[in-house]
Structures are given as structure tokens and as C-alpha cells.
Amino acid sequence: MKYSQDILFSAILLASGTAALKDGVGLKPHMGWSSWNVAQCNAASARYALDTANKFISLGLKDLGYQYINIDDCWSTKNRDGSGKLVPDPSKWPNGIKAVVDQIHGMGLKFGLYGCAGTQTCAGYPGSEGREKSDVAQLVSWGVDFWKYDNCYTPCRQNPRPQTCQNPTANTTQFYAPMRDAIVAANAKETNKLHFNLCNWGRDQVWTWGANYGHSWRMSVDNWGDWASVERIGSSAAGIHQYSAPGGFNDLDMLYIGSSKINENQSKLHFGLWAITKSPLVLGLDLNKISSSHLAIIKNKGLIDINQDPLGKAATTFRPPGAAAPAQGKIYPYWAGPLSDGVVIGLCAGTSAGKYSVNFKDVPGLSDRTYTWKEMFTGQSGSGTSISFDISLHDMRVIKVSTT
Ligand SMILES: *[C@@H]1O[C@H](CO)[C@@H](O)[C@H](O)[C@H]1NC(C)=O
Ligand SMILES: *[C@@H]1O[C@H](CO)[C@@H](O)[C@H](O)[C@H]1NC(C)=O
């Protein structure tokens, strides 16, 4: 059986001619919400899922493309049932999972759950190691659309296995392959397909093989909601931009807009950089408590359209003549990437406030001529051969240059 799945997978790879799973899932970075940052284990409930789904509609987020309501760790009971099945915690899911999924589907939205490649999830709930097919069958029977797969309690040279292994017995690919095989097999016959999100914390250079295994992959350890996280994750997105493409995207982790540890301008840069690097846009915040200024950031249609551009190519850094070289771990000022109808330029005051200018002829994808452009945070627009903005510390400007 294992053998035939491998053959099936090879056939899919050969048929597609590329690395991506090519099952039509994840052709654009996914957009949605995840429960973890809101109230950790307590938010893994029907109440939070349905409340957030309602907010997606009442706040106009659904209309902008936010779609997935993803429940993170702690949704099940601590033990499987007598036949080895996962059991939704009845205190959190009084009518089970399927009733909630049906309701969310009825609202035109999608529903996600969380599991783990090891023996337990990070919070100590049942993991899927050795149970992959049975667990996928349960997800399919409930109509689940998305599966985040964490990396806790995976095979380790330490005994007993720790939550976070520092000395794994194998490349993470081996821990993720059985779930990938189960999902590929399910997606080949179900109309309701699962998005497989690899959460191996960027280990084993997951960006080099992630598209063979899933539809998106976390390329770093968690975003802790502080500026240091935005710097650490945002700066490392530049070097791996080439791996993102329709069907498989670098996942820079949840958007911590509204975190008390970052200010307004840092929140704008956080959202803007995640958008242009084609990260999934997954809100990690309580929509009941969102401020109007943060709502304006996450509802910036210009930035969302850039993120969702069908070309699916991530922006990366470029170095204009005379500019300093990028510094490790710091957010470089100059970013650009292709769009189906233009080029996006990101200007980040990542290390100092000041005037940031570029001549279009120095931007990859543009040439020595006049273009029309529009800035997405201020709404400014213009036409010319260059742009120039005064930018406050840790703020950002995102300029769409039209080439059509
Ligand atoms: C892990 O395995 C993948 C797939 O075979 C390979 O591309 C990658 O280089 C490996 N990573 C490490 C660190 O061994
Ligand atoms: C944020 O940026 C605005 C304008 O771009 C500026 O007026 C404000 O002082 C900045 N705030 C901080 C905390 O740097």
C-alpha cells in the first residue's frame, strides 16, 4: 500500500513536470484567521470558530478574500477513542466538528484544523504519527479544508522525546511524508480538497522541498508578535523568494497585527512585507477587539490584491546603485517583485527613518522610461521615472508600478 502511494505520487510529479502537488489547492497564498494567538487552547472551540466566521462577514473581510477559519492546537480530547479515532472535545464542540464545518461552509468560508507529525501535539494532545490515513479519513468525513501539521514530539535521539527536539533522528521530510501521502491520496478522489500546511519551523531547508510535500510551509520558528520577530522572519524571506509559486508558498507565520509589542508603523510594515513576499495572510488576533486603525491595515485592498496576484511570485530585495548591502537579520530598504500587470516595489524604513528614493531603471523588471504608479498605504499616485518617500522608522511604502 505504501508502495502504491509512492507510485501515485511519482506519477503526479511526472505528470506535472514540476515539484508542486498540482492538485489545484493553494494557487494563491491562503487568507484567513488562526485561533492560537487569540486565546491559545481556549480558542480551539466552536464558539470562537463561528464568532470569527460571523466577523469575517460583518467586518467585510470575507469580501476581501479572507476565507479560512483555522482552529489550532487543543481541539480534541487528550486521548483517542477505543478505535483509535480523534475525539473533538465535547466541551468545545458540543455538536461535533462537522456541524460547525457545515455552518461555516454555508457562509461561503472554509474551516481548518491542526495536528502534529509526532506522538503528541505541542500542547500534549494526540499526534498523528502512525495514524495518518485514519486521521485524514476523519478530516475528510467532517469536510475539513485545511490541515496545519506541527513538528512536536517527533522522533528524537533524546529519550523520552521532548516537545521540541534538538537532535532529530531524521530529516523532517520523513516525518511529513506519510501525512503528505495520505492527503495526496484523499485529494485525488475528493472534491473537497485539503490544504496541507507544513509547520516544521523552517527546519531542513523546507523551502527547497516544501512544494513536494504541501501547499505552504512555515519557513521559520514562530512569530512572537514583537519587532524582533518581524525583523527575523521578514529579512529571511528575501533569500528564499524563488521557492514560492502557485501551489506552494513560503509561510511567514500569522500576522500579529494588534500585538501590544509592535506599534502602528511596525504593524504596517509587517502586513506590507508579508503581502509582497506572498506569504499567506492569516490573522492571529481577536476580531472582537480590533482597533479601527488595525482593521484598516488588514483591509488594505491594494495590498491584498498584490498578495493575491495570479502570478504568485514573491518580492525580494534589490540593491540600487550607491545603496548599502543588506545586513543579516535586518530588514533591507529596497524590495521588488513581478506582478501580472506590473511590478511592486516595497520601501522599508527597517533600520532608519529618512528619504527613500529609487529610479525605476534600477528596479528589476522596469526600464528607463516613464511609468504610472500608486502607493498602497497613502493612496498617493503619480507618473515619472522615479519615486521618493519620507518614511518614519519601521514604516513602509508599497508602490505598484503599472507596466500595461
Ligand atoms: C531533507 O530532505 C530533502 C528531500 O530529500 C532534501 O531536499 C533536503 O536537502 C534534506 N535536508 C537536509 C538538511 O538534509
Ligand atoms: C509613524 O509614521 C507616521 C507617519 O508616517 C509618523 O507621523 C509617526 O510619528 C510614526 N510613529 C512612530 C512611533 O514612529
pLDDT in tens, 234-270: 999 999 999 999 999 999 999 999 899 999 999 999 9
Domain boundaries, the chain: 4-218, 316-402
Structure confidence at residue 404 (pLDDT): 86
Average of per-residue pLDDT across 281-293: 96
Angle at 19 between CA 26 and CA 67, to 5 degrees: 5
Q: What is the assigned CATH class of domain 316-402?
A: mainly beta
348-359 pLDDT, tens digit each: 999 999 999 999
Q: Whose CA is nearest to atom 12 of ligand 1?
A: 204
Ligand 1 binding pocket includes 208 (Cβ within 6 Å): yes
**To which residue does cell 514560492 refer?**
244
Choose the residue to mutate in 205, 207, 240, 243 for probing ligand 1, maximizing ligand atoms within 8 Å of C-beta.
Answer: 205
Burial label for 321, CB within 10 Å (0-12, 13-18, 19+), is: exposed
Whether the CB-CB separation of 276 and 344 falls below 8 Å is answered with: yes
32 close to 70: Cβ distance less than 8 angstroms = yes
Question: What pLDDT is stored for residue 13 in this prediction?
Answer: 47
Of all protein residues, whose CA lies closest to atom 3 belonging to ligand 2? 392
* pLDDT tens by residue, 203-238: 999 999 999 999 999 999 999 999 999 999 999 999
Cβ atoms 65, 304 nearer than 8 A: yes
User: How far does the centroid of ligand 1 lie from the alpha carbon of residue 400, in Å?
Assistant: 36
Residue 18 confidence (pLDDT) above 90: no
Q: Is the peptide bond before 126 cis (omega within 30 degrees of 0)?
A: no
Q: What is the pLDDT of residue 16?
A: 41
Residue 208: CB partners within 8 Å, gap ≥ 6?
Answer: 243
Query: Which residue's CA is the nearest one to ligand 1's atom 1?
Result: 171
Q: pTM of the prediction?
A: 0.94
> Active-site residue 222, yes or no?
yes
In 3D space, the residue among 401, 397, 332 whose CA is nearest the CA of residue 360 turns out to be 401
The confidence band for 14, taking pLDDT boundaries of 50, 70 and 90, is: very low
Amino acid 21: pLDDT: 87
What is the distance in A from the centroid of ligand 1 to the CA of 4? 23
Shortest-distance atom of ligand 2 to CA 353: 14
Which residue pairs, CB below 8 angstroms and at least 24 apart, start in 133-139?
Answer: 133/182, 133/185, 134/84, 134/85, 135/86, 135/182, 136/179, 136/182, 136/183, 136/185, 136/186, 136/194, 137/186, 138/85, 138/86, 139/113, 139/186, 139/194
pLDDT at 2 over 60: no
pLDDT tens for 271-284 read 999 999 999 999 99
Phi and psi for 370 in degrees, rounded to 5?
-85, 135
- Which of the following CATH numbers is that of domain 4-218: 3.30.565.10, 1.10.3730.10, 3.30.70.20, 3.20.20.70? 3.20.20.70
Does the pLDDT value for residue 19 go beyond 90?
no
- The answer to whether the beta carbons of residues 97 and 48 sit under 8 Å apart is no
